Each structure stands twice: as C-alpha cells, then as structure tokens.
Structure 1
Amino acid sequence: MVFTIGTLVLVSFAVSLVALVVLIWAISRSQMRFTQADARTIFEAEERGEVLDDPSTRPEQTDSPQGRGGDSLVPANCRRLILFIFATATLWLVVGSTYGLIASLKLHLPDWLNGSAPLTFGRMRAIHLNLVIYGWLSLGLMGLALWLIPTIFATQLRLPALAFVGAIILNLAVGAGAWAISTGWTDGLEWLEIPWQIDIFIALAVFLFVIPLMVTAWHRQVKHIYVTGWYYLGAMVWFPVLFIVANIPNLHVGAQQATVNWWFAHNVLGLWLTPLGVGAAYYLLPRIIGKPIYSYSLSLVGFWALALFYSQVGIHHLIGGPVPTWVVTLSVVQSIMMFVPVIAVAINQHPLWLGNLGAFRASIPLRFVAIGALMYTAASFQGSLEALRAMNSITHFTHYTVGHAHLGAYAFVTFVLFGGIYYVMPRLVGRVWPLASFIVAHWWLVVVGFTIYFVSLTLGGWLQGQAMLDPARDWMESMELTIPYLTGRSVGGSLMVLGHFAFAVNMVAILVGRGAERKAGSGLLEAEVAARPGQ
C-alpha cells in the first residue's frame, strides 16, 4: 500500500468519524445527559468542601485525597511514583531550558561555543526541544494525570508498577535521544529528531502510562465522567496513534513526509499537550477557587469540537509547499473552526477566576493555572489567524513562529503544569513548599521573562517577514534587523531559566523534608509510619 497524502486525510477523516461514534455511544449511555450539577462531580468525588484550596502554603490543606469510604485515593506507593516523575521532569526542565538559552544566545553570538559539533546551534536547539517536550511536559503531565485520574474517578490507581516502569523507560529514552542528537544521529525532521530506534521505547513508555490510567478509569466509582476525564482519555488514545504513525521508518518520503511531519508536529501540541493542559485546568481552577465552572454543557462541547476539528490543522505550515492546494485549504478551514472549542473553554474558565480575583491574588498556583488557561486562548486565536494565507505569507520562516510556539507550549502548557505541581506536591508529602519566597520569585521571573521573550520575537519576526517580502531590500537586511530582538529573546529566556532554577531548588527542598507538616492526615509520612511493624 502506498501511503499518500490522500490516505493521510482519509485517516484523519476516519478518526473524526470514530470520535462521532464515541459521542453517540456516550449519549446513549447517559454520559451526555448532563446538567450543571455535574460540574460539582470533582467536589463530590473528594470530600474537601467548596472553599479556597491552596495546599502550597497551608499545612492544614496538605492531606491526601480521600475517597467516600475514607481510604486514600493515592496511597503511599503511588505517591512515591508521582514524586519520582515530578523530580525527574524538573531535572529535564532545567537541563532542557539551559540548552534552549544557549541556543538562543548563539543566534546573536554565533562564535560562542563553536569548538565542537555537539555545541552547534542545530544540535543544541533540537536537544532543547526534545528534552522539554518529552522529558518535562510529557513526563510531568503524566505525573499529574496519575494523581488527577484517581482523584476525579474516586478510585485508586490500578497497575502502578506498570507506570513506574514506564517512567524509568521514558527517562532513559529521553536521555538516549538527547545523546543521539548530540552525536548527529537523528531522523532529520523537526519534532521527530530522535532516531526511530529510540522512539520505540518512548512509545512503549507511553503505553505503560496509558494502560494503568485506562484501567483506573474503567473502575471509576463515580457515575459521570467529569470533563477533565474526557480530555485525558482522549489524549491517551490520540497520542500513541500519532507517535507511531509519524515514526514508522521509510514509510513517508518527499512531500508526503513533510505532510506527515507537520501533521504530527502540530497534533502533538493540539491532541496531546493541549488536552492534558486544558483538562488539568478544568480541574485545578474550580478546585482551588472552590466554585464549579460556569457552564458544564459548554465544557463538553469544547472537548468534542477539539476532537472533531483539530486533527488536520498542522498542514497550514506547508502553505506554498509542494502539496495539493486543497489539502492546505482544508487545514486552513479546520484552523478557523478551532475558534469553537477555544471560545467554549474561554467562556468557562476565564470568568471563573476573573470573578474571584481575591483568590487569584492569594494563590500563586491559581495564578499559574489561570494565566496558562488565558494563554491557551491567546495562542489558539493567534494560530488560527496565522493559518490564513495573507498572514502566513509574512510570518512563515520568521522568528514570529517561534514566539507563537512558545506561547502555546510554555505560557499555556508549562504554566498549567507549574500550577498543578505546586498544588499536588504538598498533598503528596504532607508538607507545604518550604521556600515561599522562591515561589514568588519563580512566578515573576517567568512572567516577566516570557513577556520580554514573546514581545521580542513577535515584533522582530513580523519586521523580518516584511523585509523578506520587500524586493527592494537585501536579504541580509532582514536578518540583521532581528539582532536586537534576538538579544531581547535571550534576556527574557535568561529570566525564565532563573525561574526554573528557583522552582528546582524548591523541589529539592520539599523532597528532602523541608516545609511545615500538617498535624493529621493520611499523607506519605503518616502512611509509612503506620506501615512499620510494632507501631
């Protein structure tokens, strides 16, 4: 069988049909017969009350999630698993963002660190991308899922040993992938640089995460699947398919390879990181604030619209490329249709925290999640407009696109993950974060740093695109005019990396036992003491 562009589109259409079948099944099984009362499912699954909930600085709120029978939903062995994942993900964040900063500096300091091939921009930038996508975001979000899925489904995690093996394999595969790229052994495609021989182990690791989460969902103790569950379950179905199809060796060549490349690259954000990030925000925002979302019906409309419209969005990266015009046009149409799920999420999430600014000011975890959700709206709107040919002709091949990518992957997904870890970690160890000033420093460093980073690349990229389209201007001029903006990118990136180090120091401190403990509860410390013989 020859895998053509038409076949790819047909597969995407088939996936949409499958989503439609699942929707019909859900309606027939009463999963879609919902009322606003279903928005309180997360409060009913865990008896914690509808109050401001910020365990990052309140020792009395650092108790482990409790089921209806009083049993811990996240027992000690599962907590150790999640702690291991968060710790290693933080390590990859620090290492990966350091690589990114060095790559940024080399754009305006090209003679710096040029003594060997592993230190060249091309390799360091690719290492940065893969470390943060797979080592930080994918691993960290899986850790958050291992906590959230049992909590919203009011049941303990099943098969945690599989997830632990998956975490070890994923860490080893990420490290091996970075080493391979540094030696020049890559598949040579953006977002698909890691050799397919190593990708096999990444796929295996993902399956070892997905199986326990799916089995846990199957044994849920709540009748209704809260919207977070839909986003998470969708991501766990979509990503393995995306990753395996895109990494099959020698299957895609030429223009077909480019099409599959951007089908994967865009969908790894839209059908993997986005549902994990949006799903987490749908839990964390109402949970921390202590109030349900505005419209539960709209939240599920947003999920199904994402499932039906996103799969073919990425081909707009090939506008002007050697692919059929109708394929690109279909992608542009799908990109504009993405306004539907994004507006649905915006209506639900933004009024919730904007109407509770007192909680927003009091809780830094809430700030991270709320601003992350806001940046999801901004990144999606920008992406839909960027897909239009008139705008794409200016921004394509410029630094503007890099700014847009970081608006989604960093300001949206990473911010939500920061907020999630700040909320979950104290409930895993039974202690608040020991260095409150470092949390504040982390917040301001990454907010100010990213603002400088994004504004610099957006302005510089737009001017770069206009210069490249002007036949009266020399091409070198379009490059030289970006230097001040690339310097701004490095300044902003430096602040962001400093924020990551503040986050990592706090992570180490809480892991080694610093921080005020709660007086009672079934946390990790109490569970270990109770398990000792003779006590």
Structure 2
Amino acid sequence: MDATEIPLKAPAISADAPTSDAEQIERALIDASTRVPVLMFYTSAIVWLLIGTLLAGFVSFKLHAPDLLSGVSFLTWGRVRPAHMNVMVYGWASMAGMGTAIWLMARLCRTVLRHPLLLVAGAGFWNFGVLLGVGGILMGDSTGYEWLEFPPYAAIVLFVAYSLIISSAVLMFRFRRGDQIYITQWYLLGAFLWFPWLYAAAQLMLFVVPVQGVMQAAVSWWFANNLLFLWLGAIGLGTAYYMIPKVIGRPVYSYHLATIGFWTYALFSSWTGMQRLVDGPFPAWMITASIAATILTIIPV
C-alpha cells in the first residue's frame, strides 16, 4: 500500500478481533504510512555517513601528510575538517534521529502520518541545505563557529526544511489517540522544539545582532554543547525509553521518576558548554555553574 493512500481515520477493526490482532493491524497501518519518509531519512543519513567517513579519512591523512593536495584550496585541512563535522551532525546524526523520531511519534500517538509528502519535501530540502552548507564551507564561505559553519544561505534552507518536518510531528501529536503521553514523546517533542530555539538563538546572537568580544565564544560553545544534549541526546534518550522496555519485555520502572528525569535533563543540559572555556576571560560563576550542570546531567540518565 502506498503511504499516500493510507486513510486519515483510525483503522476499522472488527469488534470480534482479539486485542493483539487489532494492535498489530493498527501498527501495520501506522508503519505503512511512515515507510516512505522514514526510509528517505534513513537512506539520506547513510549516504551522508559514507560521505562523512570519506572526509574523516582525508582529514586523518592530512594530519600525517600536511602537503597532500596543499595546492587545492577546498581540500585544505581547515576546510575539510569542519565540512566533515557538519556532515556527521546535520547529515548523518540529525537525519537518522529525525527519521526515528517521526516513526516513534506515529506509533506512540497511534495515528497514521497524515501528509507523508510533506516530510519527503522536508527531507529533500534538508539534504539540499546540508549540501549547500558543505559546499559553502569547502569554498571558503564558513562562519568559523563550531557546528555553525554553514553560511547564512544554507541556514535559511535548513529552517525551511525543518518547518516542514516539525509541522508533521506537531500534527501527529495534535491528532493522537488517547490522553496519556508516554515519556518518549516528552523527549521527542522537547528535541523538536529545542533545536529551532538553539539554532535561531545562536544565529541571532552571532550573525544577525552579534554579541561583542569573548561572549561570541560563550554563545558558540553553549550552542555546540546543547546541540548534543538537547537535540541529539534528547532523541537518543527518547528512543531508549521506547526500545529498552520493548527488548526486555518490562515497562518503565517509574513513570514519575522518568518525568523528573526529563525536566532535570532539560534544566541541567541547558547550562552546559562553558566548561570548555576554563581559564578564559569569563566570570568564574559561569564556568563553575556549567561544570556543575554537566556533572548533574548524570541524574536524569
């Protein structure tokens, strides 16, 4: 069955059908509706992983043989390394994470994906944005900030792509069946909302209305750390809360503890990043608070 032909209403299940059979039919319809966009996300992620691996190998060779292709400007170490890092974060990890998050949201919301082509378009724009950004870095148009090296025109494309992707996630949550929200949904929704906040705030403070002096380094590392914690880390934890109970066949030990873990994770993670600036020209309380918050992130996990 084509994903675009999936009905928008709940699957019609006979009242005489066993509960397990009804759940299997429901899951089959949900999985069918997400098949095309999720496979596109995963396929794109694998392609970017291969490209990133090739770039990483070239970066390693450049460390041992600095004169290797030194006459080719777009293959210098200072351009290839940030290209590799951004490919792995935005191409590989983000696309694999978004594909997983969309599939889990559909299953946990118990609703079919209403507009799969919207996600396909979002994935296409995201790929184009990453390609544009990596090309800009290799051509010398990098911004110079860790994981924010994409030039502004690539960042705009990523925002357009992400708007299409997050709208699908919000629609699924809006039309979910049942009132209970599983802890995985908390993490996935948090990640979907935290990423645009992080990316927009960093773009605003570094490029639109740039802060002055050493505060640029503070904003840069705040973004880099929170990209790992509040974006990729949140998706990873949400996936773990779904997969681990499925594998071991036991429910989450305590939903209340899991909820506390979510909020403490959101609180402590947002303070990280400044620990990378130890001995720098920054207030001592800022670095100390960041170090303490980084240590305390072990509590939610």
TM-score normalised by the chain length of structure 2: 0.87
Q: Name the structure 2 match of 1:216.
A: 172
Does the 8 A contact of 1:65 with 1:151 survive in 2? no
Residue identity in the other structure for 1:123: R
Alignment counterpart, residue 250 of structure 2, candidates 285, 291, 302: 291
- Asked if residue 251 in structure 1 is aligned to residue 209 in structure 2, the reply is yes
CA distance in 1, matches of 2:258, 2:185: 12
Rate the CA distance shift 1:116–1:219 in 2: closer, same or farther, 3 A: same
Q: Give the number of the structure whose alpha-carbon radius of gyration is greater.
A: 1
Q: Name the structure 2 match of 1:158.
A: 114
Q: Name the structure 2 match of 1:451.
A: none
Residue identity in the other structure for 2:85: L
- Asked if residue 262 in structure 1 is aligned to residue 218 in structure 2, the reply is no
Residue identity in the other structure for 1:72: L
Alignment counterpart, residue 85 of structure 1, candidates 34, 38, 41: 41
Does the 8 A contact of 1:231 with 1:279 survive in 2? yes
Does the 8 A contact of 2:36 with 2:116 survive in 1? no
1:266-289 deviation per Cα after TM superposition (whole angstroms, max 9, x unaligned): 000000000001111111122233
1:421-469 deviation per Cα after TM superposition (whole angstroms, max 9, x unaligned): xxxxxxxxxxxxxxxxxxxxxxxxxxxxxxxxxxxxxxxxxxxxxxxxx
- Asked if residue 314 in structure 1 is aligned to residue 269 in structure 2, the reply is no
- Asked if residue 274 in structure 1 is aligned to residue 233 in structure 2, the reply is yes
Does the 8 A contact of 1:65 with 1:73 survive in 2? no
Residue 123 of structure 1: SS of its match in structure 2? helix
Residue identity in the other structure for 1:148: L
Alignment counterpart, residue 114 of structure 1, candidates 34, 48, 70: 70
Q: Name the structure 2 match of 1:94.
A: 50
Residue identity in the other structure for 1:332: I
| Identity level (%) | 39
Higher relative contact order (CA 8 A, sep 6+): 1
CA distance in 1, matches of 2:199, 2:20: 38
Bigger drift between 257-266 and 289-298 goes to: 289-298
State the shift of 1:223 in Å.
2.3
Residue 299 of structure 2: SS of its match in structure 1? helix
CA distance in 2, matches of 1:317, 1:306: 19
Rate the CA distance shift 1:48–1:321 in 2: closer, same or farther, 3 A: farther
- Asked if residue 325 in structure 1 is aligned to residue 281 in structure 2, the reply is no
Matches within 5 A, 1:108-507: 108-248=64-204, 249-252=207-210, 253-342=212-301
CA distance in 2, matches of 1:199, 1:341: 32
CA distance in 1, matches of 2:118, 2:98: 13
Rate the CA distance shift 1:289–1:119 in 2: closer, same or farther, 3 A: same
CA distance in 2, matches of 1:66, 1:181: 47
State the shift of 1:317 in Å.
1.1
Does the 8 A contact of 1:166 with 1:205 survive in 2? yes
Does the 8 A contact of 2:79 with 2:137 survive in 1? yes
Residue identity in the other structure for 1:251: V
State the shift of 1:205 in Å.
1.3
State the shift of 1:295 in Å.
3.2
Rate the CA distance shift 1:326–1:152 in 2: closer, same or farther, 3 A: same
Residue identity in the other structure for 2:271: Q
CA distance in 2, matches of 1:116, 1:138: 30
Q: Name the structure 1 match of 2:30.
A: 73
Does the 8 A contact of 1:271 with 1:310 survive in 2? yes
State the shift of 1:237 in Å.
1.1
Q: How many residues are treated as equivalent by the alignment? A: 279
Residue 114 of structure 1: SS of its match in structure 2? coil
Does the 8 A contact of 1:263 with 1:313 survive in 2? yes
State the shift of 1:65 in Å.
6.0
The runs of 4+ residues in structure 1 deviating greater than 6 Å are none
State the shift of 1:158 in Å.
3.1
Q: Name the structure 2 match of 1:443.
A: none
**Where does structure 2 lack aligned partners over 5 or more consecutive residues?**
1-18
Rate the CA distance shift 1:145–1:339 in 2: closer, same or farther, 3 A: closer
Residue identity in the other structure for 1:265: A
CA distance in 2, matches of 1:83, 1:270: 25
State the shift of 1:262 in Å.
0.8
Residue identity in the other structure for 1:95: I
CA distance in 2, matches of 1:190, 1:91: 23
Rate the CA distance shift 1:107–1:48 in 2: closer, same or farther, 3 A: farther
**Where does structure 1 lack aligned partners over 5 or more consecutive residues?**
1-46, 50-63, 343-535
The RMSD of aligned alpha carbons is 1.9
Residue identity in the other structure for 2:201: V
